[in-house]
């Protein structure tokens, strides 16, 4: 099949879908719009664009971005299938143009409809729509529930250096919870945790939480996860879909601490491996922190692999 993957793929998760499709013998075009960046020709060019934005309301960077996307789509041969991730990230004309290039047009919403709603004409535009958000799929029959996937190849570190790991981007609600977890760890003399916040909103965080303004690659994050006993997953308000952290933990044989209460509805839920935080965080116990991970039955493990995800979306 000729297949196009189209997304703003800042972390590289969707590239893994493209790579898996290629291993299955498909002709794959992978378009990552996060890589489309206008480079100023000179300082003068930057100054001119500043005045253009201020006076003419025209942004050369946005104009370049739109033109480049149109060029990439127009250069596509007719496709058997196109998958677009979070379609509301893109202008209606981009979606309509992609639709003309493919026999089958599939959308995957990797966010809640409250945060990122679908395009107004979703029912005419898409042949099938998947969502990772469990509550959204319960309320909307046009959505097909499909969690994220485990792309790991069973990487198991028997002697991790750190007790726990998390990395989050700015989010006041999550930072408050993370601060409380760090304070609790400190109180029970656990010092070997690696908590990272990218561009935090809170002005004051626990002194052991690392602050960064730099993008950290998925490969770097994977190494940090491998070197930790427990992964912490804190979701934004109104999110009920499972983040990639849950499935990365599955692949690496790591336990999870999460505030996503819907995880108990999944067939892989195991209270030995997964701790669902209560509102005051009093259920983080030394017993959970010290228990060993219990491996999943193989059929359950395979259900959430990247390979099974790809077969569900493109071969059904």
Confidence of residue 47 (pLDDT cuts 50, 70, 90): low
Task: Output the pLDDT for position 96.
Answer: 95
Contact 86, 126 (CB under 8 A): no
| Angstrom distance (rounded) from CA 123 to CA 159 | 50
CA distances from 84 to 19, 104, 110, 121, 127 (A): 16, 11, 11, 15, 12
Fold of 2-146: Rossmann fold (3.40.50)
* pLDDT digits 0-9 by tens, 103-143: 999 999 998 898 889 999 999 999 999 999 999 999 999 99
Confidence of residue 239 (pLDDT cuts 50, 70, 90): confident
Per-residue pLDDT for 284 more than 80? yes
> How big, in percent rounded to 5, are the helix, strand and coil portions of the chain?
40, 20, 40
* pLDDT digits 0-9 by tens, 242-278: 999 999 999 999 999 999 999 999 999 999 999 999 9
Task: Output the pLDDT for position 316.
Answer: 82
Mean pLDDT of 11-40: 90
β-strand partners of 131: 109, 145
Mean pLDDT of 134-161: 89
Q: Is the dihedral of CA 249, 254, 255, 256 positive or negative?
A: negative
Longest dimension (CA), the chain: 63
* pLDDT digits 0-9 by tens, 33-45: 998 875 666 666 6
* Average pLDDT, rounded, for the chain: 91
Contact 233, 257 (CB under 8 A): yes
Least confident of 61-75, 169-183, 195-209: 61-75
Q: What stretch(es) of the chain map to CATH 3.40.50.2000?
A: 162-303
Task: Output the pLDDT for position 36.
Answer: 83
Task: Output the pLDDT for position 157.
Answer: 79
Residue 247: which of 34, 29, 28, 16 has the closest Cα?
16
Task: Output the pLDDT for position 16.
Answer: 95
CATH pick for 162-303 out of 3.10.620.30, 3.40.630.30, 3.40.50.2000, 3.40.1190.20: 3.40.50.2000
* pLDDT digits 0-9 by tens, 50-105: 555 556 566 666 777 788 899 999 999 999 999 999 999 999 999 999 999 999 99
Phi–psi pair at 176, nearest 5 degrees = -65, -45
Task: Output the pLDDT for position 242.
Answer: 95
**More confident position, 129 or 282:** 129
Confidence of residue 170 (pLDDT cuts 50, 70, 90): confident
């Amino acid at each position: 099949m000729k297949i196009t993957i189209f997304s703003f793929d800042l972390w590289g998760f969707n590239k893994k879908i493209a790579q898996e499709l290629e291993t299955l013998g498909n002709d794959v075009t992978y378009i990552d719009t996060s890589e489309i960046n206008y480079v100023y020709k000179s300082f003068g060019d930057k100054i001119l664009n500043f005045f253009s934005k201020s006076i003419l309301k025209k942004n050369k960077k946005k104009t370049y971005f739109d033109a480049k996307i149109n060029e990439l789509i127009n250069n596509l041969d007719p496709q058997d299938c196109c998958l677009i991730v979070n379609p509301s990230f893109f202008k209606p004309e981009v979606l309509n143009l992609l639709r003309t290039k493919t026999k089958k047009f599939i959308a995957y919403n990797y966010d809640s409809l409250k945060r990122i709603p679908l395009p107004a004409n979703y029912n005419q535009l898409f042949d099938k729509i998947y969502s990772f958000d469990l509550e959204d799929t319960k309320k909307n029959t046009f959505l097909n529930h499909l969690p994220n996937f485990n792309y790991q190849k069973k990487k198991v570190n028997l002697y991790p250096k750190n007790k726990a790991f998390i990395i989050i981007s700015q989010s006041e609600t999550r930072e408050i919870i993370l601060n409380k977890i760090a304070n609790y760890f400190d109180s029970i003399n656990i010092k070997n945790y690696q908590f990272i916040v990218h561009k935090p909103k809170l002005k004051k965080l626990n002194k052991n939480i690392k602050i960064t303004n730099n993008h950290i690659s998925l490969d770097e994050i994977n190494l940090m996860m491998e070197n930790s006993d427990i992964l912490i997953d804190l979701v934004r308000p109104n999110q009920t879909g499972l983040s990639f952290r849950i499935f990365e933990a599955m692949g690496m044989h790591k336990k999870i601490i999460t505030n996503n209460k819907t995880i108990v509805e999944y067939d892989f839920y195991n209270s030995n491996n997964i701790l669902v935080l209560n509102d005051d965080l009093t259920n983080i116990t030394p017993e959970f922190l010290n228990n060993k991970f219990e491996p999943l039955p193989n059929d359950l493990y395979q259900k959430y692999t990247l390979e099974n995800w790809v077969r569900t979306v493109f071969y059904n």
